[in-house]
Structures are given as structure tokens and as C-alpha cells.
A = this chain, B = another copy of it.
Amino acid sequence: MLDRTAYLALDAVSLPRRLGGRPELLDRLGPAEAWQVREVGDGNLNLVFIVEGPKGSIVVKQALPYARVVGESWPMSLDRAFFEHEALSRLGARDPGRTPELIVFDPAQAMLAMEHLTPHKVARRAFMEGEELPLLGTHLGLYLARTLFRGSDWSMPTTARKADLALFAGNAELAGITEELVFSDPFKAAALNRHTPGLEDIAAAFRADRALKLAAVEMKARFCTGAETLLHGDLHTGSVMATPTDTRVIDAEFALYGPMGFDVGVCLANLWMAAFAQEAHRADARAATAYGEFLLATAGILWRTFEAEFSRLWASERTGILGGADLFEAQGDEAGAKAALTTHLTSVWQDALGFAGMEISRRILGLAHIAEFETIADIGLRARLERRALAFGRHLALNRRQIPSIEAANLLAETQRARP
């Protein structure tokens, strides 16, 4: 896409020299001689630096030409930085204040400088530390409703939406990672798979489970062909940074057009998994139960807020070609518009449950695991908790059309969490 002959990975020493001439950064940080740089990337794909100067601090994210989680043997296009910048710009405009402020983007260097979110903490870490984030569910519910609705043919001018669909179709390499790692690998003996010792039987059972694999194939087809809206594409709780009063969504390099239920389902799945892991992170059972209840309540608030905000936007901003206001409101049929909304929300909900089942499966049996489970030193305990989560995820995937509400899904999680 771009001439990348000038591309060179940054490091803590070269960064001030290479970026110290940019006025937007000097404004924020003060003189480059005084910058303190540390590399803090703990994700799977990129370099991340925190740069502190006399006047303030920023974050600099730079894509590497390979997947960091695997190494240089897995080359990966630098274009993902371009797509991340395009996506964050759109997502930020659709729900202002919920993404980091973008300061400088350099496509040739695959480098994005942005607001340093502080004292924010990755949501996953807060979950392990037992820190309650009382606004998390509300913020994520609003974010999901606004970004998913406003990137769709229910809202956007259709030519702009089609142009965006075409643009993000170019992010095929990262889409391919999701297609393979989320929807296929957990259900076969894939080379990159790994799981906690003791889960051999359930891993084998998943590979032999025809009904589950049929669900995986169906959800994969939904993901690949259901081009409803611009998704974040990787909205797990490691892509969320929060304080008790603020929530931000980061890391949008997987952005693509897909079904609304994907972002919702991945997000819910990660809240549920954090609840399943609680027992290992709290000093006593009562604290684990209480924090687990906070996480399930957060899932509940997330979906109910999503639903309410989506309904509000449906009533007030349904200006796209799928709006159908010409068929309903314009003919005095408000109830018809509401019925169309219910149909759509039901489909998003069922998709979300299916995708949540996939996300749980792949985070325990596939390549990329979650910190809440990975940090459990007691392997036996870890396997036991993961096993419960897997059973829950499988149930979601198979019964996605029968689970009527978030309360019903939470009750299933609660029940499964209490299993021996």
C-alpha cells in the first residue's frame, strides 16, 4: 500500500531523535532531550512506548512487520497501522471521548502517537486486582450502540458506507487471523493451539463435537459475510482501559465490516471469562462471589445499555437506506418501526451469543489466551476454572437462538461457575 523502504522499528533510544522534530509532540511533551521512553507493549502484535516529557506524556504505537506473539516467522503487513488509524478516527467520531485522542499518524513508519491514558488500567488487570469499575458496563454499552449503529446502513449515507466497506476489505490479513484463530483452530488439532494440562479430554471432545463445529462454521460465515457495520474487531477486555470514572477503547487494528454481534459477543465473553477466573484471584470465596457478581452485572448493564441506546438511535438517527422510516413512521406506523428494531436486536443478540461461545473456546484452546486464566499458577485450579468456562461457551454457541435474555445468560454463567 505504501512505500515502506524508509520503515525502521523504533526503540527507546532512537525515538526522541526520530520524533523530536514534530511540533505536535513537542507541544505535549516539552523538549525532546528531556523525553523518557519505555517500551511497554504486552500485546501480541506491536511496539508500544510511553514517552514522558516535562510537559506531559504520550503513547507511541508502532506496528512490527511480524506478529510479536509468534516472532519473525509470522510476517505481517504494516498496513494494519493504517487501518487502525482509519478505524480509531471513525470510532472516535461515532462515540466521542471513548477512544484515545490521536496526535500524529505516520503511515510510512506504521506509527501512531496518541494520548497517554493515565491513570487508566487495562480492564483485564482491574478484574484480576478486584477493582470495581462501576461505569464500565454503561460506557461499553453506549460505545457499542453508537459505533455499531453509526457505521451501518441504518445510519450512514450508503455510498460512504460502501466506500468504507471497500476500504476495510483491504485489511484482509488481520481478518484472516480472526477467521482462522477464532473460528477454526479451537475445533481441530492446529499447530498453534495450546491449552492448560488437564484439558486434553475436553479439547478432544471439542474437536469431535459435530454440533459445536457446525455452530463454528455458521458463526464464521456470519463473520465473513455479514457486513453490517465497522467493527472494532478485537474488543476483548485487553483492548479496554479504564478508571472508575472513565473507559477507553484502544487497539483497533482488526477493524473490518462485519456483524454487530461480533464486538458485543467478544466483549461479553471476556466479562464472563473474567467471572469464571475470579476464584483464583480473590483471597476468599465471598470476595470471589462478590466480584463475580460485579462482572456479571457489568455484562447485564452493557447489554441493557446497548439495547436502550441502540433503540434511541433507531428512533432518532435512522437516516440510512435500511432505515425504513419511509415504510413505518412516514405512514404513521410507529409500532412497525419498533417491531423492526426488535427483529434486529434479536438477531444481534443471537449472533453475540454465538460469537461469545467462539471467543471463549479460542481463548482457552487456541493460540491467544487471557491473563485472568494464564496467571493462575495452580495448574489444576486453572484447568478446573477453564473447563467450566468452556462448558458455558459451548452451551452459548449451541443454544444461541434459545437463550432469551442477558439475565438468562448470566444465570447460566452463575450456575456453571458453581459447578464442582
CB within 8 Å for A213 and B175 given contacts A165-B165, A330-B188: no
What B residues does A326 contact at CB under 8 A? 184, 188
When distances are taken between beta carbons in the complex, the residues of chain B under 8 Å from A293 are none
Q: Which residue of B lies closest to A189 (CB)?
A: B331
- A179-223 CB contact bits vs B (8 Å, 1 = yes)? 110001001100000000000000000011010011011101100
Contact between A321 and B224, CB atoms less than 8 A apart: yes
In the complex, what's the smallest C-beta–C-beta distance from A366 to chain B, in angstroms?
14
Bound CA span A216–B221, Å:
23
A8 within 8 A of B: no
* 8 Å CB contact of A162 from B172, B180, B210: B172
- A207/B331 in contact, CB under 8 A: yes
Copies of this chain, tallied across the complex: 2
Contact B216 A327 (CB under 8 A): yes
Task: Please name all residues of chain B whose beta carbon is closer than 8 Å to the beta carbon of A225 when the two chains form the complex.
Answer: 152-153, 226-228, 259, 322
Q: Which of A179, A216, A333, A336 has most chain B Cβ within 10 Å?
A: A336
Residue of B nearest to A336 (CB): B210
Query: Is A5 close to B, CB under 8 A?
Result: no
Nearest residue in B to A221 (C-beta to C-beta)?
A: B322
Contact of A221 among B165, B175, B208, B344 (CB under 8 A): B344
In the bound complex, what is the Cα–Cα distance between A226 and B227 (angstroms)? 6
Q: A188-B327, A340-B214 are in contact. Are A165 and B162 (CB under 8 A)?
A: no
Whether the Cβ atoms of B179 and A321 lie closer than 8 Å is yes
Instruction: Check A158 for interface membership: any CB of B closer than 8 A.
Output: yes
Distance in Å from the Cβ of A369 to the closest Cβ of chain B?
21
Most buried by B among A321, A327, A336, A344: A327
Q: Which residues of B contact A162 (CB under 8 A)?
A: 169-170, 172, 175
Residues of B within 8 A of A208 (CB): 331
User: How far, in whole Å, are A389 and B110 apart by their CA atoms in the complex?
Assistant: 58
Shortest Cβ distance from A227 into B: residue:
B227
Q: A158-B172, A217-B340, A224-B321 are in contact. List 8 more A-B contacts (CB 8 A).
A: A169-B169, A207-B331, A210-B335, A214-B336, A214-B343, A217-B343, A225-B226, A225-B228
Interface pairs (22), CB distance under 8 Å: A152-B225, A153-B221, A159-B176, A162-B170, A165-B165, A166-B169, A166-B170, A169-B169, A188-B330, A207-B331, A210-B328, A213-B324, A213-B328, A214-B340, A217-B324, A220-B321, A220-B322, A220-B324, A224-B321, A224-B322, A225-B228, A225-B322
